[in-house]
């Protein structure tokens, strides 16, 4: 809490051709959750602020997080095979007395790996915390020190990523923000629902009394000692404005150049 006691909420629109938010991945199978993880959002903020992987992230991990699913997207599996270009058997996880990896036995020349992504998904992430810290993070996202990604380095975000600060409880902020789905999805839904003014969207909120436990709160991003702890969350539906009927009291927004605009984002 700040000396003034004021808090603020930072809104991020997490959208792009591909996203991947893993929390229980192994080397040959990288899963994704159906919505952003806290470690993924904290990692994005830490990258924007220019923090190294060895830097402390306690202040960021302590922020309250809410995720609204504006467009769930669909699951994409990326299939790979790995082999040695010299034709040698692949190495196993076992090591010799000299500490060298042993070849696979029986010999294995091809290894299958799989990566999973969310394609065409859009999320509204709300991060609540002390006003001074949120203001600092807003500036960092607007002028990031390192490239930002949606879970994995290859998943670049579409514009606008930063929606700015809001005041009020996190739950109310998520309910008040207009639907952020792509224009194609919103127009199709509008035709089917008579351009209704509101839509019910699923959301996941940090909640000490929540009935779900997520093991995705980062304690350290250091490559040799990545550690995480748990948080409790609750799931709900929030009635949000669709934005299909222009609101004369809301000023137009400018997101600058968007390289994904032609894809309907």
Q: Tell whether the model's pLDDT for residue 87 goes beyond 70.
A: yes
Question: How confident is the model at residue 256, as a pLDDT?
Answer: 57
Question: How confident is the model at residue 60, as a pLDDT?
Answer: 97
Q: Is residue 183 part of a domain?
A: yes
Question: In which residue are the tokens 């222009």 written?
Answer: 246
Q: Is residue 2 part of a domain?
A: no
Q: Is residue 1 part of a domain?
A: no
Q: Is residue 67 part of a domain?
A: yes
Question: How confident is the model at residue 105, as a pLDDT?
Answer: 81
Q: Tell whether the model's pLDDT for residue 8 goes beyond 90.
A: yes
Give the model confidence (pLDDT) of 212-229 as tens digits: 999 999 999 998 888 999
Instruction: In whole angstroms, give the CA distance from residue 202 to residue 212.
Output: 15
More confident residue, 5 or 146: 146
Q: Is residue 116 part of a domain?
A: yes
Q: Is residue 145 part of a domain?
A: yes
Give the model confidence (pLDDT) of 20-41 as tens digits: 998 776 667 888 999 999 999 9
**Residue 141: domain span:** 7-263
> Count of domains in the chain?
1
Q: Tell whether the model's pLDDT for residue 176 goes beyond 70.
A: yes
CB 205 within 8 A of CB 71: no
Question: How confident is the model at residue 113, as a pLDDT?
Answer: 84
Q: In the structure, what pLDDT confidence band is assigned to residue 260 with cuts at 50, 70 and 90?
A: low
Q: What value does the mean pLDDT take over residues 225-251?
A: 84
Q: Tell whether the model's pLDDT for residue 261 goes beyond 70.
A: no
Q: Tell whether the model's pLDDT for residue 84 goes beyond 60.
A: yes
Q: Is residue 139 part of a domain?
A: yes
Q: What value does the mean pLDDT take over residues 153-158?
A: 94
Question: How confident is the model at residue 250, as a pLDDT?
Answer: 52
Q: Please, what is the average pLDDT of the chain?
A: 90
Q: Is residue 198 part of a domain?
A: yes
Least confident of 13-17, 112-116, 158-162, 243-247: 243-247
Proportion of the chain above pLDDT 90, given as a percent = 70
Question: What CATH number is associated with residue 35?
Answer: 3.30.70.2660
Q: Tell whether the model's pLDDT for residue 165 goes beyond 60.
A: yes
Q: In the structure, what pLDDT confidence band is assigned to residue 252 with cuts at 50, 70 and 90?
A: low
């Amino acid at each position: 809490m700040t000396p003034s006691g004021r808090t603020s909420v930072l809104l991020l629109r997490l959208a792009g051709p591909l996203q991947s938010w893993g929390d229980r991945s192994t080397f040959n199978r990288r899963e994704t959750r159906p919505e952003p993880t806290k470690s993924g959002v904290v990692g994005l903020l830490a990258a924007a602020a220019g923090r190294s992987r060895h830097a402390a992230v306690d202040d960021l991990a302590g922020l309250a997080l809410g995720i609204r699913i504006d467009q769930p997207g669909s699951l994409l599996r990326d299939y790979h095979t790995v082999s040695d270009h010299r034709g040698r058997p692949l190495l196993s996880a076992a090591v010799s007395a000299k500490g060298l990896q042993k070849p696979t036995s029986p010999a294995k020349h091809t290894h299958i790996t799989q990566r999973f992504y969310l394609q065409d998904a859009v999320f509204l992430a709300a991060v609540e915390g002390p006003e001074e810290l949120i203001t600092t993070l807003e500036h960092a996202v607007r002028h990031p020190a390192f490239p930002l990604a949606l879970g994995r380095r290859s998943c670049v975000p579409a514009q606008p990523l930063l929606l700015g600060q809001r005041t009020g409880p996190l739950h109310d902020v998520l309910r008040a923000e207009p639907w952020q789905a792509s224009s194609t999805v919103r127009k199709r839904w509008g035709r089917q629902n008579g351009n209704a003014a509101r839509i019910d969207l699923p959301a996941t909120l940090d909640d000490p009394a929540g009935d779900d436990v997520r093991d995705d709160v980062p304690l350290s991003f250091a490559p040799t000692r990545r550690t995480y702890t748990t948080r409790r969350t609750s799931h709900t539906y929030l009635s949000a404005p669709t934005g299909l009927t222009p609101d004369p009291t809301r000023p137009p927004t400018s997101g600058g150049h968007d390289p994904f605009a032609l894809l309907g984002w």
